[in-house]
Amino acid sequence: MKEQKSLIMGIESSCDETAVAIVSDNKKILSNIVLTQLEEHKPYGGVVPEIAARSHINHLNRLVRQALEEASVKWSDLSAIAVTSGPGLIGGVMVGLMTAKAIAYARRVPLISVNHLEGHALSIRLTEAVEFPYLLLLVSGGHCQLLIVYGVGNYERLGTTIDDAAGEAFDKVAKTLGLEYPGGPAVEKAALLGDASRFKFPRPLKGRPGSNFSFSGLKTSVLRAKDRLVEAKDGVLSRQDICDLAASFQEALTDAIIDRVANSIDYYIDKTPISEHILVVAGGVAANSCIKEKLAALCIQKGLLLKAPPMNLCTDNGAMIAWAGVEKFKLKEFADLNIGAVARWPLDPDAKPAVGAGIKA
Ligand code: KG4
Ligand code: ZN
């Protein structure tokens, strides 16, 4: 007899990607459509919440239909609808959530409410046979956290940022240096031609206990160094100056991240008596080669396996939400149709707030 598969649709709209995917419980991605709003936000050098929400409204219905078509799936084949219901930019989250509720109601399928961060956290299990508990470094434009993932809905947060997320720091520094948005790829490219030892930027929190992050001071140091240089050179920076600033910044940020991850690895190994320790890295900043290489070296030194989902599943996407939906579907964790969208939703509600941390923590 043919085994019955569960098919879950996942909807993501918490930031600047409108995304819909259909994933099966045997780890097949039947469709995975991501519409990025990059060009719409580019003139502003960052995501504008109002523009994001309006754009989600304009495109989501079409993408839902397209996801069904590309997967050759009928409405009646769907087992459940999973949706990001927080944290994120609230207008966008509401668009996705209301759409998912309407589908659940009209098609009589269960609704599964997914924490966007849990989508990132579990995505590695869609592409690889990774068992709990693993250590997760989540580094994106909106988040910078270190967590032990013990299971679905079971997290221990070891660290979070007390100010900017790592991707946010890349984006802001790129703006300072006159590089394009999104800043991460632009800074990385400039850094390739730069001298990372020219500017001695601070490594925030390096050498201190714990696993929290801070990037605001580093960002300000880059701004000051640039301003000093502009003054010294009568307003004209050379391409080499820009590349050296980018390389020195990237090196400092990477050093700071590695120091924080090293502390969390020690804690994780101490806490979890398992034979194979794993560090998973997810989020858009995981694309950065400098960070990836240093993480790989650290994992070799500490005896961990380093894993990362493929890049298209590292950045925001619907497949990770659908997959988190699969994991929750197996546990029968369904949501009421009257749930609300939430801007702040920590994965570890017991974690002490990091000093100075904003709503992203
Ligand atoms: O995960 P993501 O696509 O969206 C969320 O923020 O949720 O991450 C986007 C962030 C941006 O801040 C972008 O500048 C950064 O990831 N990023 C990078 C690189 N590629 C993207 N940061 C550093 N190096 C890169 N190569
Ligand atoms: Zn994300």
Do residues 1 and 20 lie in contact, with contact meaning Cβ atoms separated by under 8 Å?
A: no
Closest CA to 162 of 116, 201, 202, 204: 204
> What are the chain's domains?
7-123+312-349 (3.30.420.40), 132-308 (3.30.420.40)
359 pLDDT tier (thresholds 50, 70, 90): very low
User: In angstroms, what is the span from residue 282 Cα to ligand 1's centroid?
Assistant: 10
CB of 92 within 6 A of ligand 1: the answer is no
- Label the pairing between strands 111-115 and 80-86: parallel
For the chain, the residue count is 361
User: In angstroms, what is the span from residue 39 Cα to ligand 1's centroid?
Assistant: 15
Task: Give the pLDDT confidence score for residue 295 in this predicted structure.
Answer: 98
Query: Span 82-90, mean pLDDT?
Result: 97
CB of 12 within 6 A of ligand 1: the answer is no
Query: Span 109-120, mean pLDDT?
Result: 97
Query: Helix (H, G, I), strand (E, B), or coil: what is residue 26?
Result: coil
- pTM assigned to the model: 0.94
Structure tokens, 128: 């690889």
User: In angstroms, what is the span from residue 283 Cα to ligand 2's centroid?
Assistant: 6
Sorted by sequence, the CB contacts under 8 Å of residue 50 that are 6+ apart come out as: 91
Pocket test for ligand 1, best of 168, 177, 315 (most atoms within 8 A of CB): 315
* pLDDT tens per residue across span 299-345: 999 999 999 999 999 999 999 999 999 999 999 999 999 999 998 89
* pLDDT tens per residue across span 24-71: 999 999 999 999 999 999 888 888 999 999 999 999 999 999 999 999
* pLDDT tens per residue across span 239-266: 999 999 999 999 999 999 999 999 999 9
